Amino acid sequence: MVQTKTNPTTKNYAKIGIIAAIVVAVAILGVVIVSAVSGRGGVSVNRALETVSTDAANGADLRIALVRMDAIQNEATALQDLRKQRESYESKLRDELTRDQKKLEKEKADIEKSQDVLSRDALQRRVVDYQNRVTKLQRDLTERAQSIETNYQKALADVQAKHLDPIIEGIIAKKNLSLVIDGRFARAGANVPNLDITSDVVSALNKKVSKVKMEKPLGF
């Protein structure tokens, strides 16, 4: 880890198409006066705060950068390829759904035509069999769709852990940054050179990895 002039920051991860990494630093902006309120079996707030240091980050010491995780997801070659893999599986699943729906619609029409031909018991058995097939199809399609999304998210997490996080940490070290913020949650003024490191991250990520194999989903 990089030795900076501030205390170590905490990394929080939030999901979008790709899971965004946000390094958050909290600065104390003023002195908060809290009245001492004792609870049964506890201590007052003032007593509880006795171990809290008055030290805080100094704005003059901070080196801050923004990274737009949504742009990385859209522009990084490996993530574009991963998204195409998911879309390919989803397209195949839609095609199968359309084909199976046509078969079921034809069978439903046949059942309706055979009402006057089959006995009541035979017709009932055929209707029950048809309903069971519809239920099974719905269950199978749901499980397979969930498997596509689960495997896609696993692949994203793998890219983040093995490639994206180390690159961001490396840029933090190289630029001696104190704080990196996800640009989706920040508003920056104009004419701030070197604030946005998104292109640096995309360039380094493309150089490190260009393809990531998504695990084959259930039923493919």
Nearest to 84 by CA among 71, 74, 94, 97: 74
Residues with pLDDT less than 50, the chain: 1-39
Close Cβ partners of 126 (under 8 Å, ≥ 6 residues apart): 111, 114, 118
Q: What is the pLDDT of residues 67-77, one digit of tens each?
A: 999 999 999 99
pTM over the 0.85 mark: no
Q: What is the pLDDT of residues 107-155, one digit of tens each?
A: 999 988 888 888 888 989 999 999 999 999 999 999 999 999 999 999 9
> What DSSP state is assigned to residue 8?
P
Please return the burial class of 170, using the count of CB atoms within 10 Å of its CB with bins 0-12, 13-18 and 19+. Answer: middle
The amino acid sitting at 36 is A
Three-state SS at 11 = strand
> What integer pLDDT is reported at residue 41 of this predicted model?
55
pLDDT of 59 reads 76
CB 73 within 8 Å of CB 17: yes
Helix (H, G, I), strand (E, B) or coil at 185: helix
Q: What percent of the chain has pLDDT over 70?
A: 81
Question: Facing residues of 67 across strands?
Answer: 182
Q: Which residue, 26, 11, 33, is CA-closest to 56?
A: 26
Q: Are 70 and 184 in contact (CB under 8 A)?
A: yes
The Cα 11–Cα 129 span in angstroms is 54
Task: Say what percent of the chain tops pLDDT 90.
Answer: 59
Q: What pLDDT, on a 0 to 100 scale, did the predictor assign at position 40?
A: 54
How long, in residues, is the chain? 220
Neighbours of 138 (CB within 10 A): 11
Q: What local confidence, expressed as pLDDT, does residue 204 receive? A: 96
With both helix axes pointing from N to C terminus, report the angle between 77-113 and 120-159 in degrees, rounded to the nearest 10.
Answer: 180
pLDDT, averaged across the chain: 81
